[in-house]
Amino acid sequence: MNLRPDQLAGQLSRPLAPLWLLHGNEPLLVLEAADAIRSAARQQGFDERETLVVGQGFRWEALALAAGNLSLFGGNKLIDLRIPTGKPGRDGGDALQRYARALPEGTLTLITLPELDWQTRKTAWFTALAGAGNTLEFNAPERERLPDWIAGRLAAQGQSAERDALVFIAEHVEGNLLAAHQEIRKLGLLHGEARLTLDQVQDAVLNVARYDIDKLRQAALEGDPARCVRLIEGLAGEGAAPPLVLWALANEIRTLASLKAGHDAGQPLPALFKAERVFDERRKQALGRALPRLSTGTLRAALMHAARIDRMIKGLVSGDLWDEFLQLTLRLARR
């Protein structure tokens, strides 16, 4: 059955289900959940563990062999199957379906996957696994909920912090929960159980934000100019490839222009999203909020601006490339 992440602890205090399927867009949360399941399995007598990592050249017969081999110590066994790509292929899909239909006795199976798109979730192998065991999805908290997530982590180690301090940490570890986890642990070592001030946090926290292109698109859609400035500076500092940044922004502008034209013509947004292959709910909401404040003229000018940046990247036009990226994103973010 599908479980919420907050239901995991309660499930681990009971006899464990024979199959666990973990996936999501945040590796840290998936890893922590997998560690918790492995720890509970050891406490419940699953003393032996066999780890299988699906990669190039992996033979799916290994899964059947692992299930068929008895524990060397005569106890129960944990099979730890990891599929880093989330794509087992045809042979793997068939093997996983057969496995789900006849789970081995005395064996607990833990399968970890990355973030899965909607097409993968509808595959026969995924639905077979989900129907045979417990499925949990672990995604990073949304940006506006990140300070509360950090507060919860601090509370777990006996600390609390001013709201400004929580926001400061969130801004400086943007998009990187592993970095947030490391900084929180560091605050625990530095200050022990205490209430943290903004000054203490500023002194301790490093600027380890993971500036990425998707978050730049999101900031532009949400009309957040300050965040756009911060992300552009981060991308420039990290040496991000300008053609990739341009592709991402230009693709978003073209999508907005198509949605705007269709919406102005009286077409319903759900049909337009489907036509533009926009399936992610968060992105749908962001696009839907951006459309009323962006005119057709603004989007046309943005496309022309993107074309100028393209010529700049190719050396046909001179100018400050990253300043042009900033002006383009501010054009989209302007309210």
Q: Which domains does the chain have, with CATH numbers?
A: 2-137 (3.40.50.300), 143-204 (1.10.8.60), 213-333 (1.20.272.10)
Q: What is the pLDDT along the chain (335 residues), one digit of tens a residue?
A: 899 999 999 999 999 999 999 999 999 999 999 999 999 999 999 989 999 999 888 999 999 998 887 555 556 899 999 999 999 999 999 999 999 999 998 899 999 999 999 899 999 999 999 999 999 999 989 888 999 999 999 999 999 999 999 998 988 887 688 888 989 999 999 999 999 999 899 888 776 666 678 889 889 999 999 989 989 988 888 788 888 889 889 989 999 999 999 988 899 999 998 888 888 788 888 899 999 999 999 999 999 999 999 999 888 888 899 999 999 999 999 87
| Per-residue pLDDT at 316 | 87
| Per-residue pLDDT at 51 | 94
Tell me the angle at which helices 89-101 and 124-132 cross, rounded to the nearest 10 degrees: 30
Q: pTM score, two decimals?
A: 0.71
Whole-angstrom Cα Rg for the chain: 24
Q: What is the spatial distance between Cα 100 and Cα 124, in angstroms, rounded to a whole number? A: 11
Token digits of residue 269: 């947004």
| Per-residue pLDDT at 205 | 79
CA-wise closest residue to 174 among 250, 112, 226 = 226
Token digits of residue 321: 């490339």
